[in-house]
């Protein structure tokens, strides 16, 4: 029975994991508070984690029907993430391990994302029996990367964004359109009624031979477009078309590069996780492209796309049961920890 904590950004989450099963996964999102400022304010995030961690942990224990003294191991995100935010979860987990003498595992947030597409069902269970080598797209407000996952333990980053993350691009272009933060879900909704071919926005680096991404040029193109066509925002159909066109540019780059990388490295499976994986167009386009390329696709379930302690706990438990060493209680947070 393992208790996992995730506090790397703006979600306070605690999960209880038992032999690959997610007994509870409580997520307290701070998004509404940060929305007022148009983005995540690190100092506020830290304070909110501090305030919410114990209530979230109590709720997770209650929902799982277990008591704190039944917990046999504890895990927390060590990095990457916001320093103050990481510190709350990591230190709480280490303090728990110190006082109880139970093992502690410090987890890499991106490595955990690689595992979330394998957690399925209700209640969710990790399907490690079905694991196969894959190319994984991690795409959220803070990260955009393609990873070659050769085995459960062995992975290699093939490429990442050189500037903005894809979610950041949704949020920033949405802000230019006057949409509230985070704009990603709103663009998804509005784009549903728009024409993705209405405007031809750049597809940055789509045809470059590497697996890297760049989204800041797209953001600038949208800024100039709105400057030159101010009427594009004052009519509903035009706003829908703009949303659909921007979304289409982001999605096409993500899908093209992910599927191309999978074909090149020779895997038969593509996975995806991170907040942007909730995007309906991305899910549909990935499905179509993978079917065409003869690749199996595993998308993280929508409730497990975003940052949750479930993925942290599933990975930590797997590491412990595979004979992995626990993490020293002296280990510090690692805000800039890069996935190898």
279 binds, among ligand KG4, Zn ion, none (CB under 5 to 8 A by kind): ligand KG4
Closer to Zn ion at the Cβ: 194 or 275?
275
Does the footprint of ligand KG4 cover residue 89 (CB under 6 A)? no
**Integer CA distances (angstroms), 198 to 135, 158, 240, 300, in order:** 32, 33, 10, 30
Q: Contact letters (x/-) for Zn ion, 90-129, by CB under 5 A?
A: ----------------------------------------
Q: Is the dihedral of CA 81, 82, 86, 87 positive or negative?
A: positive
- By C-beta, is 42 or 185 nearer to ligand KG4? 185
- By C-alpha distance, which of 258, 278, 273 is closest to 315? 273
What DSSP state is assigned to residue 116?
Answer: G
Alpha carbons 210 and 157: distance in angstroms, whole number: 12
Sign, CA dihedral 226-257-338-334, equals: positive
What does the per-residue mask of binding to ligand KG4 show for 298-337, with x meaning CB under 6 A? --------xx------------------------------
Buried b (16+ CB within 10 A) or exposed e, 245-263: bbbbbbbbbbbebbbbbbe
Token pair for 96: 């728990």
> Residue 202 CB, nearest distance to ligand KG4 (Å)?
19
Applying CB under 6 A, among 81, 159, 184, 204 the residue interacting with ligand KG4 is 184
Minimum CB separation of residue 184 from ligand KG4 in Å reads 2
Q: From ligand KG4, Zn ion, none, which one binds at residue 182 (CB under 5 to 8 Å depending on kind)? A: ligand KG4
Joined together, the tokens standing for residue 71 give: 């917990």
Least distance from C-beta 328 to ligand KG4, angstroms? Answer: 28
226, 176 contact by CB (below 8 A): yes
Element (H, E) at 120: strand 119-120
Tell me which residues in 119-138 interact with ligand KG4 (CB under 6 A): none
At residue 261, φ and ψ (nearest 5 deg) are: -65, -40
Taking the complex as a whole, the smallest distance from the CB of residue 141 to ligand KG4 amounts, in Å, to: 3
Asked whether the beta carbons of 47 and 7 are under 8 A apart, the reply is: no
307 binds Zn ion (CB under 5 A): yes
Judged by CB under 6 A, the chain residues 138 through 177 that form the site for ligand KG4 are: 140-142, 167, 170-171
Q: Is 10 in the site for Zn ion (CB under 5 A)?
A: no
Instruction: Figure out which of the listed residues 9, 57, 147, 222 binds ligand KG4, where binding follows CB under 6 A.
Output: 9
x/- letters, 125..144, toward Zn ion (CB under 5 A): ---------------x----
Which of 31, 121, 34, 111 shows the shortest CA–CA distance to 77? 111
Q: Which two tokens stand for residue 183?
A: 């704009």
Q: Specify the residue, 134 or 140, whose C-beta has the smaller distance to Zn ion.
A: 140
DSSP, collapsed to helix, strand or coil, labels residue 183 as helix
Q: Which residues pair with 297 in a beta bridge?
A: 270
Give the nearest distance from C-beta 274 to Zn ion in angstroms. 6
Matching residue, tokens 């990457």: 80
CB closer to ligand KG4 out of 190 and 262:
190
Q: Which of residues 224-283 bind ligand KG4 (CB under 6 A)?
A: 274-276, 278-279
Smallest distance from the beta carbon of 259 to Zn ion, in angstroms? Answer: 22
Contact residues: Zn ion, CB under 5 A: 140, 307
Contact residues: ligand KG4, CB under 6 A: 9-10, 140-142, 167, 170-171, 182-185, 188, 274-276, 278-279, 306-307
């Amino acid at each position: 029975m393992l208790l996992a904590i995730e506090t790397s950004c703006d979600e306070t989450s605690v999960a209880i994991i038992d032999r690959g099963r997610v007994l509870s996964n409580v997520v307290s999102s701070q998004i509404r508070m940060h929305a007022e400022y148009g983005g995540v304010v690190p100092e506020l995030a830290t304070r909110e984690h501090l305030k919410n961690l114990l209530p979230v942990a109590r709720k997770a224990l209650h929902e799982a029907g277990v008591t704190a003294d039944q917990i046999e191991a504890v895990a927390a995100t060590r990095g990457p993430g916001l320093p103050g935010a990481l510190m709350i979860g990591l230190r709480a987990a280490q303090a728990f391990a110190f006082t109880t003498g139970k093992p502690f595992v410090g987890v890499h947030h991106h490595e955990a994302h690689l595992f979330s597409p394998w957690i399925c069902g209700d209640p969710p269970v990790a399907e490690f029996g079905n694991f196969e080598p894959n190319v994984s797209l991690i795409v959220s407000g803070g990260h955009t990367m393609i990873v070659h996952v050769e085995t459960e333990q062995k992975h290699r980053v093939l490429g990442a964004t050189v500037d903005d993350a894809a979610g950041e691009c949704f949020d920033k272009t949405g802000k230019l359109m006057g949409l509230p933060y985070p704009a990603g879900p709103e663009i998804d909704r509005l784009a549903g009624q728009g024409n993705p071919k209405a405007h031809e926005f750049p597809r940055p680096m789509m045809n470059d031979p590497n697996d890297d991404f760049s989204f800041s040029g797209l953001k600038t193109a949208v800024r100039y477009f709105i400057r030159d066509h101010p009427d594009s925002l004052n009519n509903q159909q035009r706003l829908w078309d703009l949303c659909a066109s921007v979304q289409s540019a982001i999605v096409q780059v993500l899908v093209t590069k992910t599927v191309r990388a999978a074909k090149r490295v020779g895997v038969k499976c593509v996975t995806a996780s991170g907040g942007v994986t909730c995007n309906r167009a991305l899910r549909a386009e990935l499905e179509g492209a993978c079917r065409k390329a003869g690749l199996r696709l595993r998308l993280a379930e929508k409730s497990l796309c975003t940052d949750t302690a479930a993925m942290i706990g599933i990975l930590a438990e797997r590491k412990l049961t595979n004979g992995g060493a626990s993490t020293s209680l002296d280990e510090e947070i690692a805000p800039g920890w890069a996935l190898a």
